Amino acid sequence: MIWKRSAVLRFYSVCGLLLQGSQGQFPLTQNVTVVEGGTAILTCRVDQNDNTSLQWSNPAQQTLYFDDKKALRDNRIELVRASWHELSISVSDVSLSDEGQYTCSLFTMPVKTSKAYLTVLGVPEKPQISGFSSPVMEGDLMQLTCKTSGSKPAADIRWFKNDKEIKDVKYLKEEDANRKTFTVSSTLDFRVDRSDDGVAVICRVDHESLNATPQVAMQVLEIHYTPSVKIIPSTPFPQEGQPLILTCESKGKPLPEPVLWTKDGGELPDPDRMVVSGRELNILFLNKTDNGTYRCEATNTIGQSSAEYVLIVHDVSITLLPTTIIPSLTTATVTATVAITASPTTPATTNSRRDPNALAGQTGPDHALIGGIVAVVVFVTLCSIFLLGRYLARHKGTYLTNEAKGAEDAPDADTAIINAEGSQVNAEEKKEYFI
C-alpha cells in the first residue's frame, strides 16, 4: 500500500516537471502575402524546445509536414528547414485557392498552436481601351472605356491626357465568377477639337501586386477638321514697281488640296505677271491696277475655308528736280526743291474691307501735295517780279540823271534848255552814227 502511494506521487511529480518545462515553449509564426503564381515561405520558430515535434497544416487541417516528414503529396510543397527550433516549408506556384489560415502546432502537454494567414494577390490583366473609332470629327463627343479583370483586391484605374490626369471619370467594380477576383472598368467622356489630334490618351492600372510598375494602355487620337487659312505677304508696305509674294498657309486634316487664288471674286487678271506656285502667289512687279482683294481658298474632305488680303499699292518716294527761273534783264536765279513721300499705310488684313463700289486703283487726291506745289510756284513768281522791278527802277534813274546834266552846268534857264536840246541832238547823232 505504501509502495503504490509512492509510485503515484512520483508520477505526478514527473508530470509537473514536464508541464513546468513546456510553459516556456510557444511556436511563433508570421502572416505571408504573395502574388499569384509566386512562392510562399511559411516559417514556425520555437525559442525553447526540449525535442518536441513541430507540424504545419493547411486551411483544410491537412498535415503538410510533421518535423522533416512530408505528409501531403503535393509537389508544390517542399521542406526548407527542419530542426527542434524551426520548421519552414515553401509553397510554389501559389494559386488563389491556397489562400487561408495555416497552423503550426507544437506537441507539448497540452498542444500549442500559432496561426499564419496566407494572402494571395490576384494580378490584374493588361487593360484594354474600347470605344474609339478612327477618325473622329472635330466637335464630336468621344467616350472611351478602360477595363481590366482578375485583380484581387480590386485594382485602381486612372486616366491621363497629355500627361495630365483627368479626374472626372466613371468607375465600376464587379466581382468575377470565382468570387475571389474583380473586374474593374472606367469610362471617360470628352468633346474633341483639333488640338486633340495626335494626342495620346493613357489608361493606367495601379495595384499592389504590380510592384510600383503600373500597367498601361494607350490610344492615340485622330481628329479630322476643316482647314484653317492665313495669308502672309512678303512685305508689309508694297510699292509700285516692286515684286510681292503672298503665301497661303493652310492647315487641316486630311491635308488640304492645292489652294485656289482669286482677285475681287474672279480669276487673276494678269497670269503673265501673277504666277501661282504651290501655295504662293508671286506678282512680278506691282502697279496701281493690282489694288484689290485677294482670296486664298483651301479645301479638304471635311470642308472649305478661306482668307482675304486687301492689297494697296503705294507710290514710291517722289523728289522734284531743281527748277531755275531767270527773269528778263536780270541774272538772279531762284532754285526750289520739294521732296514728297507718300505716307505709309498698313495693308488691310483678312478682317479689313474696302468699299465695294470703289474702282480698283482709284485713290483720293493728295491736297497737301497740290497745296505745296502751288505755294512754291507763287513764291518763285513773286521773287521774279520783285527782282525784275528793281532792275527796271535802277535803269530808269540813270536815264533821268544823264538828261539833267545840261541844266546843272547852265547859268540860266535859256542856256539849260539849249544845252538839253544839244544833248538830244548829240544823242540823235550818236544814233545815226551807230546806224
For residue 268, the one-letter residue type is L
Tracing cell 466637335 back to the chain, one arrives at 139
152 and 102 in a common domain:
no
274 and 297 in a common domain:
yes
154-to-59, 160, 165, 212, 213 alpha-carbon distances in Å: 24, 20, 20, 16, 16
Q: Examine residue 271 and state whether it is found in any structural domain, yes or no.
A: yes
215 and 134 in a common domain:
yes
Q: Examine residue 234 and state whether it is found in any structural domain, yes or no.
A: yes
Tell me what pLDDT residue 48 has. 82
CB 261 within 8 A of CB 281: yes
94 and 146 in a common domain:
no
Asked which of 221, 249, 284 is the last residue of a domain, the reply is: 221
Report the CATH number at residue 108. Answer: 2.60.40.10
170-to-128, 144, 165, 192, 219 alpha-carbon distances in Å: 16, 11, 14, 18, 18
CB 28 within 8 A of CB 114: yes
Tell me what pLDDT residue 1 has. 40
161 and 97 in a common domain:
no
How far, in Å, CA of 408 to CA of 415, rounded? 10
Asked which of 311, 342, 370 is the last residue of a domain, the reply is: 311
217 and 134 in a common domain:
yes
230 and 256 in a common domain:
yes
Q: Examine residue 318 and state whether it is found in any structural domain, yes or no.
A: no
241-to-66, 77, 313 alpha-carbon distances in Å: 108, 96, 9
Asked which of 263, 291, 311 is the last residue of a domain, the reply is: 311
Backbone angles phi and psi of 102, in degrees to 5: -105, 150
Tell me what pLDDT residue 396 has. 54
Cell of 431: 544814233
pLDDT in tens, the chain (435 residues): 433 444 433 433 334 434 444 456 899 999 999 999 999 999 999 988 888 999 999 999 999 999 999 999 999 999 999 998 999 999 999 999 999 999 999 999 899 999 999 999 999 999 999 999 888 999 999 999 999 999 999 999 999 998 899 999 999 999 999 899 999 999 999 999 999 999 999 999 999 999 878 999 999 999 999 999 999 999 999 999 999 999 999 999 999 988 999 999 999 999 999 999 989 999 999 999 999 999 999 999 999 999 999 999 999 865 444 444 444 433 333 333 333 333 333 333 333 334 433 334 444 456 778 888 888 898 889 988 988 887 887 765 544 444 445 555 556 555 555 555 554 444 444 444 443
Say what the pTM is. 0.60
86 and 102 in a common domain:
yes
Encode 289-327: b = buried (16+ Cβ within 10 Å), e = exposed.
ebbbbbbbbbbbebeebbbbbbbbbbeeeeeeeeeeeeb
| Domain hosting residue 111, numbered range | 27-121
- By DSSP bridging, strand 223-233 and strand 136-137 are parallel
Q: Examine residue 360 and state whether it is found in any structural domain, yes or no.
A: no
Q: For the chain, how many structural domains are there in total?
A: 3
147 and 74 in a common domain:
no
How far, in Å, CA of 71 to CA of 62, rounded? 8
242 and 216 in a common domain:
no
Q: Examine residue 88 and state whether it is found in any structural domain, yes or no.
A: yes
Tell me what pLDDT residue 368 has. 75
Tell me what pLDDT residue 317 has. 66
CB 202 within 8 A of CB 225: no
How far, in Å, CA of 221 to CA of 192, rounded? 9
Cell of 413: 534857264
33-to-56, 62, 103 alpha-carbon distances in Å: 17, 21, 16
